[in-house]
Amino acid sequence: MGVVYFQGLVASCVDRIPTIRVVVLCASVSVAFLFIVLLYGLYNVFLHPLRKYPGPLLWRAYRVPYVISIHKGEIHRRMKDFHRVYGPIVRIAPNELSYTDGTAWKDIYANRTGHLTFERNPTWFKKMEPTEPMSIMGPDEEAHARFRKAFSNAFSEKSLRDQAPLIDGYVDAFITQLKVPVSGGRWTEKTVDLVRWLNYVTFDISGDLSFGESFDCVKNGKAHPWVETVTGFGKGLVLIASLNMYPPMEKLLRYVIPKHILKQHIDFRAMTAAKAEKRLAMDTDRPDFVTPTKKHSDQKSAITDQEWAINMMIIVFAGSETTASVLSGILRELVQNRGVLSRLTNEIRSAFETEQEIKIASTGNLSYLNAVINEGHRLCPAVAIGVPRVVPRGGDSICGQWVPGGTYVAVNQFAANRQLYNFHNPNSFIPERFLDSKHHTDDMSTFQPFGFGRHSCIGMKLAYAEMRLILARLLYAFDLSLADDKDRWDWGQQKTYILWEKEPLKVTLRRSGKS
């Protein structure tokens, strides 16, 4: 009986040998893989050329925690905490350093005599397809220089003066729409989501200056399909960037992006190309971004139709989402800080006799308004995380310390602006810090909301002009208050996918005695 049982056991083991072999093989491969992963992490922590830089252990060892964090939309908060703990230079991935020191702006983003250029990090700016044209935001420095030259006239002081009546007109339409009484009744008060309305007006302006026609978001009280699509791009860009961080995985891109998103992308491209083509076909000298650029392009370096389309798309987006975002942040801070709101409202209402006097040209010199805008930029920077660059071959020094070639480096604005070692009361909204720098120790060299160097924002003057005008018109026409007084929170609590995923800002508007 015992012999029979033993024979049966042996026979069943022999039968299972292939299965056992597979299991053993898989286990060995897994152990080997884990061992390699462990060795890789140990190498990054103890032997890598960046080993001397401080940072959280797992982040120094592997890129995965960074990728998880950008997908959760919380990278800006993690970096703020890391910089508080580890100081102004933090290693946030095996091959990436984050900076919150003002000197890093010059070292990373400016042209330094005798130094090679720190180019844009292709992980974030890579083309989706090889046939895709280059753009002003792309990593190719030669193409960038060509586009920057071509578009720079469209953003000069003179162009802004020419464009001013069109912008004044859009802001006027925005205020008029907000004044429309609820359900046709008499005006008492009205609650609106300012985040939505600010997006409408900024996209209408950028759309008109780029495509020669409005998106009519303000007129219709809702987002145009082009605007709806483009404002949803952030998460897609984060997905693309994180796959690009693992080079063989990028080949999977086409397969991991859902078919309907790919189709939406293709339709969006076609819609943009059609809009750009329509504007270019217009025989007009209208004061917009296209007229001066086209003149330059016709005389010097021709811009192809495809290049026009991608650059116009970028400019419309870069010029509206950012401006709307900072304005939303400023207005949230204002309604949450009644003292500042009241001082600013007084400044604006005493500077003008009538609403019609408030124009781009007349709002430039209101000192408290400018301080409020800067403080809003500091607490709610449109570009919350750094726009990354790559250290050139051979390495270079940043903030006096050597960094090997190929390292990804960036100044992270949200983290930098919220550090006690850069600004006193870093999380409080105190516009006065921009009025009189003698009384405190703020390090204003860290504050660069429009970037630095050859890639710094081409639309900075326009952005300031729009923000001043919109804020002045709003505060002149309305008394503003939070619709729900408990709806108070810090701007940084929101998620970021390159740009902010903005929560609504429900504000009650009451017609002021002035309008």
Cα–Cα dist 130/126, whole Å: 9
Which amino acid is it at 266?
I
Listed ranges 97-105, 311-319, 347-355, 507-515: which one lies at the site for ligand HEM (CB under 6 A): 311-319
Burial of 111 (0-12, 13-18, 19+ CB in 10 A): exposed
Please pick, from the candidates 243, 416, 462, 475, the single residue that binds ligand HEM as defined by CB under 6 A.
Answer: 462
The number of CA neighbours under 13 Å toward the Cβ of 214 is 19
Q: What contacts 296, CB < 8 A, 6 or more positions away?
A: 149, 150, 153
The verdict on whether residue 457 carries a ligand-binding annotation is yes
Residue least distant from ligand HEM (Cβ):
459
Binding string, 200-239, against ligand HEM, x = CB under 6 A?
------x---------------------------------
| Matching residue, tokens 């909301």 | 449
Does 315 sit near ligand HEM (CB under 6 A)?
A: yes
Does 463 sit near ligand HEM (CB under 6 A)?
A: yes
Listed ranges 183-191, 361-369, 452-460, 489-497: which one lies at the site for ligand HEM (CB under 6 A): 452-460
| Matching residue, tokens 């709003």 | 474
- 269: closest CA among 243, 215, 234, 233? 233
3-state class of 425 per DSSP? coil
Please pick, from the candidates 431, 459, 476, 496, the single residue that binds ligand HEM as defined by CB under 6 A.
Answer: 459
Please pick, from the candidates 387, 398, 410, 469, the single residue that binds ligand HEM as defined by CB under 6 A.
Answer: 387
Does 455 sit near ligand HEM (CB under 6 A)?
A: yes
Does 450 sit near ligand HEM (CB under 6 A)?
A: yes
Does 384 sit near ligand HEM (CB under 6 A)?
A: no
3-state class of 424 per DSSP? coil
Does 465 sit near ligand HEM (CB under 6 A)?
A: no
Cα–Cα dist 83/99, whole Å: 8
β-pairing, 408-411 vs 401-403, is unpaired
| Residue 106 DSSP label | I
Does 458 sit near ligand HEM (CB under 6 A)?
A: yes
Asked if 108 and 410 touch (Cβ cutoff 8 Å), the reply is yes
Listed ranges 268-276, 330-338, 342-350, 446-454: which one lies at the site for ligand HEM (CB under 6 A): 446-454
The sign of the CA dihedral 479, 484, 485, 489 is negative
Closest to ligand HEM by CB, 426 vs 449, is 449
Does 199 sit near ligand HEM (CB under 6 A)?
A: no
Closest to ligand HEM by CB, 315 vs 470, is 315
- 176: closest CA among 404, 509, 432? 509
Listed ranges 18-26, 174-182, 317-325, 341-349: which one lies at the site for ligand HEM (CB under 6 A): 317-325
Listed ranges 213-221, 247-255, 399-407, 449-457: which one lies at the site for ligand HEM (CB under 6 A): 449-457
Does 73 sit near ligand HEM (CB under 6 A)?
A: no
Q: What contacts 357, CB < 8 A, 6 or more positions away?
A: none
The sign of the CA dihedral 496, 501, 507, 511 is positive
Does 382 sit near ligand HEM (CB under 6 A)?
A: yes
Does 290 sit near ligand HEM (CB under 6 A)?
A: no
Does 326 sit near ligand HEM (CB under 6 A)?
A: yes
Does 415 sit near ligand HEM (CB under 6 A)?
A: no
Asked if 67 and 242 touch (Cβ cutoff 8 Å), the reply is yes
What are the tokens at 103?
Answer: 């000197």
Rg of the chain over all Cα atoms, to the nearest angstrom: 27
Please pick, from the candidates 139, 329, 449, 492, the single residue that binds ligand HEM as defined by CB under 6 A.
Answer: 449
Cα–Cα dist 123/126, whole Å: 6
β-pairing, 89-93 vs 189-193, is unpaired
Closest to ligand HEM by CB, 194 vs 318, is 318
Closest to ligand HEM by CB, 45 vs 107, is 107
Within 128-147, the residues that bind ligand HEM by CB under 6 A are 136-137, 144
Does 104 sit near ligand HEM (CB under 6 A)?
A: no
CA angle 302/305/308 to nearest 5° reads: 80
Does 312 sit near ligand HEM (CB under 6 A)?
A: no
- Contact positions vs ligand HEM (CB under 6 A): 136-137, 144, 148, 206, 314-315, 318-319, 322-323, 326, 382-383, 387, 449-451, 455-459, 462-463
Q: Which residues are annotated as a binding site for heme?
A: 457
Q: Which residues are annotated as a binding site?
A: 457
